[in-house]
Amino acid sequence: MTNKLMPDELTPDTLSENAKLSPILPVPSLNKIATHPLREKLYNELHNRPFQSIASPAQLTHLAIHHQGKLRQKEHQFISLLCNRFQVNSPAESMPCFYQDFGLFSLRWERHLEYSTYTFIHQAPLTEQPFIKNAIDYVPSDWFEQMPGQVIAAVHLVVESKNIDKGTTHKVEPFFDNMSLIASAPVHSQAKVWSSFKLHDDGFGRFLIYQQDLSAAQLGRLVQQLLQLDTYRLMATLGLPMAQEINSELNQLDLQLQQVTTYIALGTDKSDRELLTDVSKIAAKVEDYRSQSTYRFSATNAYYDVALQRMDELKEEEIPGYMTMQEFLMRRITPAVKTCQTASNHLEDISRRVTRASDLLRTRVDMVLQEQNQTLLKSMNHRAHVQMRLQQTVEGLSVAAISYYGMQLFETMLTSLPSLGVKYNHELVSGFSVPIIIGIVFVGTRLIHKRLMKDVT
193-215: per-residue pLDDT in tens?
999 999 999 999 999 999 988 89
Give domain status of residue 273, yes or no.
Answer: yes
Q: Which residue has the higher pLDDT, 437 or 70?
A: 70
> 208, 233, 190, 206: which is closest to 337 by C-alpha?
233
The pLDDT value given to residue 396: 67
Same domain, 264 and 334: yes
Average pLDDT over residues 371-378: 80
List the domain range (segments joined by +) for residue 337. 240-375
Q: From 313, 343, 375, give the residue that closes a domain.
A: 375
Q: Cβ(114)–Cβ(69) under 8 Å?
A: yes
Residues 90-94: contacts with CB under 8 Å, at least 24 apart: none
Name which of 19-23, 96-100, 201-205, 397-401 the model is least confident about.
Answer: 19-23
Burial zone of 306 (CB within 10 Å; 0-12 exposed, 13-18 middle, 19+ buried): middle
Give domain status of residue 9, yes or no.
Answer: no
Cα distances (angstroms) measured from residue 393 to each of 379, 383, 396, 399, 403 = 21, 15, 5, 10, 15
Give domain status of residue 35, yes or no.
Answer: no
In 10 A of CB 427, how many CB atoms? 8
Helix H or strand E encompassing 122: strand 115-122
**pLDDT band at residue 15, thresholds of 50, 70 and 90?**
very low
- Contacts of 268 by beta carbon, 8 Å cutoff, 6+ apart: none
**pLDDT band at residue 231, thresholds of 50, 70 and 90?**
very high
- Determine the Cα–Cα distance for residues 51 and 53; give it in Å rounded to an integer: 6
Q: Which residue has the higher pLDDT, 222 or 95?
A: 222
Average pLDDT over residues 110-122: 94
Tally the C-alpha atoms within 13 A of residue 71's C-alpha that lie toward its C-beta. 18
Q: From 195, 218, 235, give the residue that closes a domain.
A: 235
**Above 60 in pLDDT, residue 365?**
yes
Q: What percent of the chain has pLDDT over 90?
A: 42
Same domain, 281 and 250: yes
Give domain status of residue 196, yes or no.
Answer: yes
- Determine the Cα–Cα distance for residues 430 and 437; give it in Å rounded to an integer: 10
Mean pLDDT over each residue of the chain, to the nearest integer: 84
Same domain, 158 and 259: no
What are the two backbone dihedrals, phi and then psi, of residue 121, each rounded to the nearest 5 degrees? -120, 125
Tally the C-alpha atoms within 13 A of residue 449's C-alpha that lie toward its C-beta. 14
**Above 60 in pLDDT, residue 1?**
no
Same domain, 94 and 217: yes
| 3-class secondary-structure state, position 24 | coil
Q: Which residues of 137-169 are buried (b: 16+ CB within 10 A; e: fewer)?
A: ebbeeeeeeebebeebbbbbbbbbbeebeeeee
Per-residue pLDDT reduced to its tens digit, 393-403: 776 677 777 87
State the Rg of the chain over Cα. Answer: 47
- Determine the Cα–Cα distance for residues 181 and 192; give it in Å rounded to an integer: 12
Same domain, 364 and 388: no
Same domain, 92 and 194: yes
Same domain, 253 and 390: no
**Above 80 in pLDDT, residue 6?**
no
Same domain, 229 and 95: yes
Give domain status of residue 193, yes or no.
Answer: yes
DSSP 9: G
**Above 50 in pLDDT, residue 303?**
yes
**Above 80 in pLDDT, residue 242?**
yes
Same domain, 228 and 80: yes
Average pLDDT over residues 220-231: 93
Q: From 375, 401, 436, give the residue that closes a domain.
A: 375
**Above 50 in pLDDT, residue 2?**
no
**Above 80 in pLDDT, residue 392?**
no
Residues 449-456: contacts with CB under 8 Å, at least 24 apart: 449/395
Strand order in the sheet with 106-111: 97-101, 106-111, 115-122, 58-66, 150-161, 205-211, 191-195, 182-184
Q: Which residue has the higher pLDDT, 26 or 136?
A: 136
Same domain, 365 and 396: no
Give domain status of residue 427, yes or no.
Answer: yes
The pLDDT value given to residue 427: 75
- Determine the Cα–Cα distance for residues 354 and 351; give it in Å rounded to an integer: 5
Give domain status of residue 21, yes or no.
Answer: no
Same domain, 73 and 157: yes
> 218, 230, 224: which is closest to 191 by C-alpha?
218
| Helix boundaries (H) for 267-322 | 272-314
Same domain, 385 and 370: no
Total of domains in the chain: 3
**Parallel/antiparallel/unpaired status of strands 150-161 and 58-66:** antiparallel
Give domain status of residue 8, yes or no.
Answer: no
**pLDDT band at residue 20, thresholds of 50, 70 and 90?**
low
